[in-house]
Amino acid sequence: MYTTAVIDEIRRQVRQWRANGETVAFVPTMGNLHAGHITLIKEATQRADHVVASIFVNPMQFGKNEDLDAYPRTLAEDQAALTAAGCELLFTPTPDIIYPKGLDAQTYVEVPGISDELCGASRPGHFRGVATIVLKLFNIVQPDVALFGRKDYQQLLVIRTMVEDLSLPLEIIGVETVREASGLAMSSRNGYLTADEKARAAALKAALDALAAQIAAGSTIAAAIAKANTSLMDAGFRPDYLEVRSATTLALPTDADKELVVLGAAYLGKARLIDNLVFSR
């Protein structure tokens, strides 16, 4: 696998592949890779002739009091894992390369509505940062397909909306969440959990499962959410939000919506964990 921080080198290699009539899949990451990221890479190898990944801890999507400086950087281990999974080209830019004018003078992309709720409400400006960096990376790599994990369900819908609204010529593929044996969704931030917290962290997925089952059995959404919040607090979580929305639009569900998604975010110790579950009623 070839690693570079130079935009022109990425473009030159992709142009060569395209001149040969070959396709490109792209997996953007912030590094500190786990089995979920590697699943994206392996899926990408089945979707295109060549796979490009990026590792960039994007300062634009972190709030003032969030963990930008503490976010784990594990480049050597990440490079080994990407190579073994079939990635051929890795882009590792610095903030100066991505934002040469600085964040305050950077043109940005905003996806209205869908970006303002749930994680967007808890983390103001987060999805502006996500949309801006993803579009910039798409413009650099020019992939045919790009793959994202479904664990970040709202992020996936934000990116799909941006691609549709801006008529970008690529396909966005959502890949199922990879979980630990306990049911805990794999996340780079799981590393913040102590051993005791990690043992309790599976309560988030259990709460989502129970909530969906109660609604499917005829419970009201409000009653099911109240029970789920209680179970999370009993497990030591500090719930941020727990919501049931339309699975396609993230709007509040109407009686006509049969495909729903329950989305949850909660703090356990130093970690803010998110998860979701799509279900039918």
Spatial distance between the Cα atoms of 209 and 235, rounded to a whole number of angstroms: 15
3-state SS class at 159: helix
Asked if 212 and 228 touch (Cβ cutoff 8 Å), the reply is: no
The H or E element spanning position 55 is strand 50-55
Query: 92, 98, 90, 88: which is closest to 23 by C-alpha?
Result: 88
Spatial distance between the Cα atoms of 254 and 39, rounded to a whole number of angstroms: 35
Annotated active-site residue 37? The verdict is: yes
Catalytically annotated residue among 34, 37, 50, 126: 37
Asked if 57 and 73 touch (Cβ cutoff 8 Å), the reply is: yes
Spatial distance between the Cα atoms of 258 and 147, rounded to a whole number of angstroms: 26
Spatial distance between the Cα atoms of 243 and 207, rounded to a whole number of angstroms: 12
The DSSP 8-state label assigned to residue 275 in this structure reads E
3-state SS class at 116: coil
Instruction: Please list the active-site residues.
Output: 37
